[in-house]
Amino acid sequence: MIKVTIIGSGNVGFHLVNLFHNSTKINLNEWCSRSIDFDERVKVINKIENLSESDIYVICVSDKSITEVSDKIQFKNKLVVHTSGSTPYNSLNNKNRRGVFYPLQTFSKSQKLNYSEIPICIEAENNKDLETLKKLSQDLNCKHYETNFEERKTLHLAAIISNNFTNFLFGISKEIIDSKNLDFNILKPLINETVNKIHKLDPIKAQTGPARRNDVNIMKMHENMLKNEEIKSLYMVISKMIKEKYGN
C-alpha cells in the first residue's frame, strides 16, 4: 500500500486529501498544513520539518512556492511531486526523486466532485517512479495520462481558456442580467446545453449565434446596448474572430 503525504491546504490539497482518504488502497499518512490544526480523516502537522516518512510527498502549493517548499523537506531520495500544470518537475529540489501529479480539474472547497472522472497528468524523472504514479492513479480509480512539460503547459493553457475565461464570461452575463433585475437561472439551461453539446459535437461544429451567421443588425444592436467599453470591445473582438473563423 502506497503511503502518501499531502503538503498544502488550498483547494487542490483539500480535495486530494478527500481523494486519497476515500481510497482503500492508499495509506494517507499525514497532511501538512499551516492553516488546519485537526482533521479526523488524517494526522495533521503544521511544520514541514516535522514530516514523517512516506513513499510519496505531494506538494499542493502555488507555483511560486513549489521550490521553497521542496527545499524544506528533510528527507533525501524520496519521491516528491507537485500538482502544477505549468511548472517543470526540475523546480523541485533534486535531493529527492522528482515528478508531477497534475489533476486537471477546477477545485473549490465548497464543491463536491466525482473524483473518478478527474484525469491525472503524470511525469517522473525515471521509469520506476513513473510506474509508481501510474499505480497511484489506478488505485484512485482515476484515468492517467503520461505528459511531458510542454504537453502539460499546452493542456493548462487550454484549461484556462475553457474554464477560467468561460467562467469570467458567465460573470459578465450575470452582471448584464442583474442590471435589468432578471433572474440568472433563466440562462442556466442554455449554459448546461452548451457544455453538454461538446460531448457529442466538435466545438467548432457546434458554434451558433449572430456572429456565426453574420447577422450584422443583431450584433450592432448588442454593441449599442453595452455601455461598458471594455465589455463592448470584448463582444466585438470575439464576434470578429467567429466571423473570420467561419468565413463570414
- Residue-wise pLDDT for 10-27, tens only, equals 999 999 999 999 999 999
Give pTM, 2 decimals.
0.93
What are the angstrom distances between the C-alpha of 217 and each of 210, 213, 223, 244?
Answer: 9, 11, 10, 17
pLDDT tens digits for range 90-108 = 999 999 999 999 999 999 9
In single-letter form, the type of residue at position 15 comes to H
Query: pLDDT under 50 in the chain at which residues?
Result: none
Q: What domains does the chain contain, in order, with CATH numbers?
A: 2-147 (3.40.50.720), 152-245 (1.10.1040.20)
Sheet containing 56-59: give its strands across.
Answer: 43-45, 26-32, 2-7, 56-59, 79-82, 97-103, 120-124, 144-146
pLDDT at residue number 248: 66
Q: What pLDDT score does 42 carry? A: 96
* Gyration radius from the chain CA atoms: 22
Supply 150's cell numbers.
510542454
Q: Looking at residue 149, what is its pLDDT? A: 98
Looking at residue 242, its pLDDT comes to 98
Distance between CA 234 and CA 90 in Å, rounded?
A: 38
Phi, psi of 184 (to 5 degrees): -60, -25
Mean pLDDT, all residues of the chain: 97
Backbone φ, ψ for residue 98 (5° rounding): -120, 150
Place of cell 471594455: 230
Tell me the pLDDT tens digit for each residue of 60-89. 999 999 999 999 999 999 999 999 999 999
